[in-house]
Amino acid sequence: MKEKLSKIRLEALEQIASPDANLEEIKIKYLGKKGELTAVLRGMGALTAEERPVVGQLANEVRESIETALAEKMKELQAKALDARLTAEKLDVTMPGSPAPVGHIHPLTRAQRELEDIFIGMGFSIAEGPEVELDYYNFQALNIPENHPARDTQDTFYITDNILLRSQTSPVQVRVMEQTKPPIRIISPGRVYRSDALDATHSPLFHQLEGLVIDKGITMGDLKGTLEVFAKKMFGEETKIRFRPHHFPFTEPSAEVDVSCFVCGVKGCRLCKGEGWIEILGAGMVHPFVLSNCGIDPEEYSGFAFGLGIERITMARYGIDDIRLFYENDERFLEQF
């Protein structure tokens, strides 16, 4: 009987190991109810009491070894099958992806949002106002009376004698100052209009972003500090700024503000035309006339204002050399942003 069991084990393991083994059949043949091992066990009644436990133990060992061999073989076959499937499923990863819809934010909006977020981080809110504006808000309230020579620098589109297309977003500042008590900390981004013929560097419509801060004890140093933070955030931590004296009717003192060229440092390159600096801002301390005009006491409060052209910054930022591209909206241009 022992020999029989050993033979069964040998045969079974041989069959399991064969490459074309049918595991289910083998299982039934040896371990099934009518299987060979079962048949042997049934014949155990004929054995002596001493032999029985010995043979029984051997039979169990044989069963276990067949079961283990079956399980291992099963695992091996499954792994092989998975390998085969994965091999068959191989894709050409160099083929293009299926097009997913993707749109692009306009570069001017992209730059504007970035500028807005920098100032929002410094506690500024965003103020808006009409583009078709009263002469009063665009000029007179800003210390530019009728026939003032400063009007020449901003050739303005007029609707009637006292209604115009705003030539700057400063009227928004005046409207805010009229309606709000200090502290005031706003930026006013938006469209402005000047009667310049369209060419590579001029557009009769462009975007400005102006800022205004009014509070007690605001200094010209604060203006410089605020613009320095802005310049570093916008153009990189290495950026420096430079103030040059200038004149704007609505600020006093006034300054033109340059940033160190973010391409070359201050060495001079094509972008900065060899200057090392790029003019990007006009700024100054709000003129006391403007404050008192808006009902704010210049003895008690002071403040600063600044303004920049969004197109100019966007062009410098992305190396765009023609302002008309912004308004042509060629898909091949838009999809680069």
- Can you tell me the distance from the alpha carbon of 168 to that of 193, in angstroms, rounded to the nearest whole number? 7
For residues 46 and 102, which CB has a smaller minimum distance to another protein in the complex?
A: 102
For residues 32 and 288, which CB has a smaller minimum distance to another protein in the complex?
A: 288
Q: Could you tell me what percentage of the chain is helix, strand and coil, using 3-state DSSP and rounding each to the nearest 5?
A: 45, 20, 35
- Backbone phi and psi for residue 205, each to the nearest 5 degrees, phi listed first: -130, 130
CB of 89 to another protein, least distance (A): 29
Torsion of CA 311, 315, 318, 321, to 10 degrees: 140
CB of 263 to another protein, least distance (A): 23
- Can you tell me the distance from the alpha carbon of 272 to that of 295, in angstroms, rounded to the nearest whole number? 42
List, in sequence order, the alpha helices (H) in 236-287: none
CB of 333 to another protein, least distance (A): 10
CB of 213 to another protein, least distance (A): 7
For residues 40 and 176, which CB has a smaller minimum distance to another protein in the complex?
A: 176
CB of 25 to another protein, least distance (A): 44
The secondary structure of residue 44, as a DSSP letter, is: G
For residues 16 and 165, which CB has a smaller minimum distance to another protein in the complex?
A: 165
CB of 329 to another protein, least distance (A): 4
Query: Token digits for 137?
Result: 């808000």
Going 249 to 251 to 255 to 256, the CA torsion angle's sign is negative
For residues 36 and 258, which CB has a smaller minimum distance to another protein in the complex?
A: 258
C-alpha Rg value of the chain to the nearest Å: 42
Among candidate residues 199, 270, 263, the one with its CA nearest the CA of residue 235: 263
CB atoms within 10 A of CB 207: 22
For residues 38 and 162, which CB has a smaller minimum distance to another protein in the complex?
A: 162
